[in-house]
Amino acid sequence: MNTRNTIRICVPVCERNLDALQNACTRAIEWADIVELRLDCLDAEPADLARVLDRLPRPLILTLRPSEQGGHRNLTREAREAFWKMQATPGEAVWWDVEGDLAHDISPALPPALSRTIVSHHDFSGVPADLDQIYDRLAQTPARVLKIAVQANEIVDCIPVFRLIERARRENREIIAIAMGNAGIATRILGPSRGSFLTYGSLDDDSATAPGQVNAPKLRSLYNIDAIDDETMICGLVGLPVMHSVSPHIHNAAFTAEGVNGVYLPFEVGNVSEFFRRMVHPRTAELHWNLRGLSITAPHKQAVMECLDWIEPEAQQMGAVNTVVVEKDRLLGYNTDAAGLIEPLMKHIGALENRRVAIIGAGGAARAAIWALQKENASVTVFARDINKARLLDVPCVSLSAVSFAGYDIVVNATPESPATAEQLRGAGWVYDLVYNPIETQFIKEARKAGCETLGGLEMLVAQAKIQFELWTGKKPASSVMYNAASSAIS
């Protein structure tokens, strides 16, 4: 293992036979600093590993996890004890990962305290109240590295995990501390830069061995984990869900292109008020990190307004915030959705004054579109299935059933669906779908059949993201860099 590099990625390999195990190890070393052999995945007896062990790449972690600790086999305590006691003493390139319940009992087989042994504890239900006591118990074993992995049911569950890393750093102990699940992604990406001995990354999205495990290629190429340090600017996307978003691809590409030491993460947040109080606001945050900006998406664009110290007038008028800037001890709120929506229209069509615009939908996206288009003096009509909801938007509204959009200069789809057919769209000028994934939606296909000019949602996503990036960094990234990163991610 390269001890000069404190950022280590361990790729777990979980295969049913030894040949597949060997092949997976060969692929893993492209991205891994160390490879973990999950021996509990094997159909063969772990003892058979000896015949291929010498042919496997180094360094390695040997793990034989019982099902109650997240393993793939029902293993008795006696079987696990026997396995570890018959192993040779770990050498410079082979580590053992032993559960906390066994570490004391097999200690005669363990080498001295500075050995290559990891003692681990897993909790797949949540964060136990006695986390510090678990740390203390593991610290009393002969193992060199402590590993504690707990389930994050809310993003604030990352706080005690980061505190464990801080404690271990103060006490000069080596630790692997992870919050599992999508809400715990931050601990996997930021943990090593804060002192965690390593982080785990799967070979691909389909081979993760624990909830929320990010694949190793993304850790290295998307999140640029090797460059993260104490000075790294942290930004991210706040919503539920967020793991599908291409925003990390957009902003991380911009950080790299502009030479900014920054990383953009997905933050899966259920309780936005609790997240802002305990992790975001500089006056109340329980976590010390260089958090500089946030994108806000559904369902939090309105609720987040109660968490801020100042909101720009335009965002107040729209009743929604999609961008937060951390400025000293204050949180500032903006809305870049409206400007992002208008920019592609102005680029392709020109002035919007007196243009007849049909907006399909009556939700938050429709509200932002109405505000932006009316500001440009366009004539707006809303088409919606729920006519009563549409009337609340205070613009002319029409039921979506059995309508024609002939004669409209622009038809904007502000729903996640494909709400109109080619026959309904025939006679319209431009059709603008705010959905960006896939790049060519069914709605766009219907529009092309109808002979309309088309505009996809990816241009809007990039336009609003570019404004966000400038608010956070003061730099104006190239739109092409952001667009290409998003397009590549979707493809």
Type of residue found at 164: L
Contacts of 129 (CB under 8 A, 6+ apart): none
Q: d(Cα 464, Cα 342) in Å, to the nearest integer?
A: 10
Catalytic, out of 85, 147, 218, 301: 301
Computed on alpha carbons and rounded to an integer, the radius of gyration of the chain in Å comes to 26
Is there a catalytic annotation at residue 301? yes
| Residues paired with 199 in a beta bridge | 9
CA dihedral (230, 10, 80, 181) positive or negative: positive
Angle separating helix axes 185-194 and 158-170, nearest 10 degrees: 10
**What are the structure tokens assigned to 340, written together?**
């992002």
- Rounded to whole angstroms, the Cα distance separating 244 from 486 reads 12
**Integer Cα distance of 384 and 390 in angstroms:** 6
State the DSSP H helix or E strand holding residue 442, giving kind and residue range, or none if neither. helix 442-449
CA distance 255 to 253: 5
User: For residue 116, what is the DSSP state?
Assistant: S
Estimate to the nearest angstrom the gap between the alpha carbon of 77 and the chain centroid. Answer: 37
177: which residues sit within 8 A by CB, 6+ positions away?
Answer: 147, 148, 149, 161, 162, 164, 165, 168, 187, 191, 196
> Do 283 and 250 contact (CB within 8 A), yes or no?
no
Where would I find the beta strands (DSSP E) of 198-248? 199-200, 233-239
Nearest CA to 2 out of 92, 107, 69, 125 is that of: 92
Name the DSSP class of 266: E
- At 382, give phi and psi (nearest 5°): -100, 135
**Three-state secondary structure call for residue 4:** coil
For residues 135 and 148, the answer to whether their CB atoms sit within 8 Å is yes
Residues designated catalytic: 301
